[in-house]
Amino acid sequence: MTRLWIGVAALALAAGGLAWAGQQGVKASPATFMAQNADAEGVITTPSGLQYKVLAEGTGPSPTTADVALVGYKGTLLDGTVFDENPQAPMPIDGVVPGFSEGLQKMKKGGKYRLWIPPQLGYGDQAAGPIPAGSILVFDVELHDFKSRAEIMQMQQMMQQQQGAAGAQPPR
C-alpha cells in the first residue's frame, strides 16, 4: 500500500511540474502585464492606462500638444526587441501615438522616463512595421528640449530671410 501512495505522489508531483513548466512559455496578456506592472516600485498609472516611471526628474515647465519636443528614445517590445531608437529626434507632441504624447506632456526638460504604453494608446490591433498587433510599447525617453510651433516657425522664417539676404547680389 505504501508503494501505491508513493507512486501516486510521484505522479502528482510530475503532473504539477509539467503544468508549471507549460505555463512558463505562456505570455501574459497585455492587460495582465499592465496590472502586474502597476504594482512595481515607482510605476505610476494614469487614468488612460499609460504607465510611467520617473528615472530622472527634469526642471521647468512641461510641453503641451502645441509644442515640438527634441527627445532621445529607445522603443522596445516586452521581450526586449528594439523596434526604434534615436538619440535626438524632433517630435510634434500631437504627432505621435497617444501614450507617447501623454508621457511627453508629463516630462520636464532634462527628464528621463520609462513609458509602458498599452495597445489602446499605441498601435492597437494593427501591426506597425516590426511592432506586432496588440503590443505593449516600452520607451526609455529623455526630453532634451521643446519649443512651441510658433517659435519654430519664427526661427525658420529668420533662417530663410538670412539665406535670402546672403544670396542677394549687391547692386552694380
pTM for this model (two decimals): 0.77
Range 41-62 burial, b when 16+ CB lie within 10 A, else e? eeeebeeebbbbbbeeebeeeb
**CATH code of the domain containing 145:** 3.10.50.40
Tens digit of each residue's pLDDT (9 = 90 or more) over 94-123: 999 999 999 999 999 999 999 999 999 999
What DSSP element (H or E) covers 34? helix 30-37
Asked if residue 103 belongs to a domain, the reply is yes
Tens digit of each residue's pLDDT (9 = 90 or more) over 39-57: 999 999 999 999 999 999 9
Structural domain span for residue 106: 50-149
Asked if residue 99 belongs to a domain, the reply is yes
The number of domains in the chain is 1
* 127 — pLDDT class (breaks 50, 70, 90): very high
Asked if residue 64 belongs to a domain, the reply is yes
Asked if residue 12 belongs to a domain, the reply is no
Distance between CA atoms of residues 127 and 150, nearest Å: 34
Q: Within its chain, how far is the Cα of 17 from the centroid?
A: 36
For 20-154, strand residue ranges (E) read 44-45, 51-56, 67-76, 82-92, 112-117, 137-148
Q: Within its chain, how far is the Cα of 122 from the centroid?
A: 9
Asked if residue 159 belongs to a domain, the reply is no
Residue 25 has pLDDT above 50, yes or no: no
